[in-house]
């Protein structure tokens, strides 16, 4: 079982909200991790969106609008990237990442389509 699992795709309408999940493998407690989120558009390297551990330990990337926010769902053992007021420019691949067992680990990524 992968360390981080993300749904492969998600579609949402302009103006709506999208909740991207990053589920940690059973036995790895989401509460103890900072979860990093990266956005990648076709033909470009990824860009840092935000990281979230708790409401007192969070950081958004430079220039990232406040429409992007992070949270956790402890019951699902998952990190969440919430994008509100979706815009066409938000269409991209999104990857979560954690530091686990002396290595950085990426989730498989979610392709967000805004249509």
Partner 1 sequence: EVQLVESGGGLIQPGGSLRLSCAASGFTVSSNHMNWVRQAPGKGLEWVSILYGDGSTSYADSVKGRFTISRDNSKNTLCLQMNSLRAEDTAVYYCVRAVDYIFHNWGQGTLVTVSS
Exactly one of 33, 36, 52, 68 binds partner 1 (CB under 8 A); that residue is 36
Task: Report the C-alpha gap between 47 and 63 in whole angstroms.
Answer: 11
Tell me which stretch binds partner 1 (CB under 8 A): 11-19, 24-32, 35-43, 70-78.
35-43
Q: Select 19 or 59, whichever has its Cβ closest to partner 1.
A: 59
Tell me which stretch binds partner 1 (CB under 8 A): 16-24, 39-47, 73-81, 82-90.
39-47
Rule CB under 8 A: is residue 42 a binding residue for partner 1? no
Task: Report the C-alpha gap between 31 and 64 in whole angstroms.
Answer: 24
**Strands lying side by side in the sheet with 18-24:** 4-5, 18-24, 78-83, 68-73
Site of interaction with partner 1 (CB under 8 A): 34, 36, 38, 40, 45-48, 51, 59, 61, 93, 95, 97, 99, 102-109
């Amino acid at each position: 079982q992968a360390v981080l699992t993300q749904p492969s795709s998600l579609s949402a309408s302009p103006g709506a909200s999208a909740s991207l999940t990053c589920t940690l493998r059973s036995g790895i407690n989401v509460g103890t991790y900072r979860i990093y989120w990266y956005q990648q558009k076709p033909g470009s390297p990824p860009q840092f969106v935000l990281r979230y551990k708790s409401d007192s330990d969070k950081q958004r990337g430079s220039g990232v609008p406040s429409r992007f926010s992070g949270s956790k769902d402890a019951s699902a053992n998952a990190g969440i990237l919430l994008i509100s007021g979706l815009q066409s420019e938000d269409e991209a691949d999104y990857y979560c990442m954690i530091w686990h067992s002396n290595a950085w680990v990426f989730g498989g990524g979610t392709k967000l389509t805004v249509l």
